[in-house]
Amino acid sequence: MSATTLTAFEPRKTPVQARATVTVEAICEATIQVLLSHGADRLTTTRVADRAGVSVGTLYQYYPNKQALLFAVMEDHMEKVASAVEAACEQGCRKPLAEMIKEIVEAFVDAKMKRADVSMALYRVAADVGGPALVKRAVMRMRKALEAALRTAPHVALQPDKCVVDTMLAAMSGAIRSMMETGPSPAAARNSREQLVLLCQSYMAAATARQR
């Protein structure tokens, strides 16, 4: 069913000529711009097309509907975050647990914060646009990477099970979300980042020391 649902969001056709590639990129960028300037509920296909400097018809040539458009933008965003986490996991391999976690959490926070405005705008449309499926996919990637990294950590008495890793990911992404919604100052954001590191460190230390 996930497959069936997702097909409705697949691009209608892919650009062949160079100008079409430019057009598609302009549409994606325009989507983000409109999302930021007008808000999710006032995002219309016409407005996006205007902003991109093309006509609505062109937009519908590449995306079957409005949802597909937003889906594509979200997919791109989550890809970046997941990649950042994966890279950090690889980077943190074989390092002490606390350090490993620190690097991973910071990578995640930084990836989110880099486009905090986009993140927040996307939260609002996620549910109507196949977001859950994308989240599930991203979480799976991150869990896999995190588990692999954890296996290389020295002095870890007990390998945490799937549930623990999921909890950490949920807490991490959930907390970031809650924090971003408070519109923190740069100083507060930095502070939150530190706290989030500590949160994950202490949890993972506890979870690997004794099970349950």
Partner DNA sequence: TGATTAGATGAAGGATTCTTCAGGTTTGGA
Partner DNA sequence: TCCAAACCTGAAGAATCCTTCATCTAATCA
Q: Residues with Cβ < 8 Å from 125, sequence gap 6 or more? A: 35, 40, 43, 70, 74, 131
* CA end-to-end distance (rounded Å), the chain: 34
Nearer to DNA, 68 or 169 (CB): 68
Alpha helices in the chain (DSSP H): 2-7, 18-38, 45-52, 56-62, 66-92, 97-114, 116-126, 131-151, 162-180, 186-209
The candidate with the shortest Cα–Cα distance to 169, out of 88, 115, 94, 96, is: 88
Q: Which of residues 13-42 bind a copy of itself (CB under 8 A)?
A: 40-41
Q: Which of residues 6-35 bind DNA (CB under 7 A)?
A: 13, 15-20, 22-23
Nearer to DNA, 56 or 120 (CB): 56
Binding site partner of 60, from a copy of itself, DNA, none, Cβ cut-off 5-8 A by kind: DNA
Confirm if 168 and 203 have CB atoms less than 8 A apart. Answer: yes
Binding site partner of 2, from DNA, a copy of itself, none, Cβ cut-off 5-8 A by kind: none
Confirm if 2 and 133 have CB atoms less than 8 A apart. Answer: yes
167 binds a copy of itself (CB under 8 A): yes
Residues in contact with a copy of itself by the rule CB under 8 A:
40-41, 123-124, 127-128, 132, 135-136, 163-164, 166-171, 173-179, 181-182, 188, 191-192, 194-196, 198-199, 201-203, 205-207, 212
Residues in contact with DNA by the rule CB under 7 A:
13, 15-20, 22-23, 42-46, 53-58, 60-61, 64-66
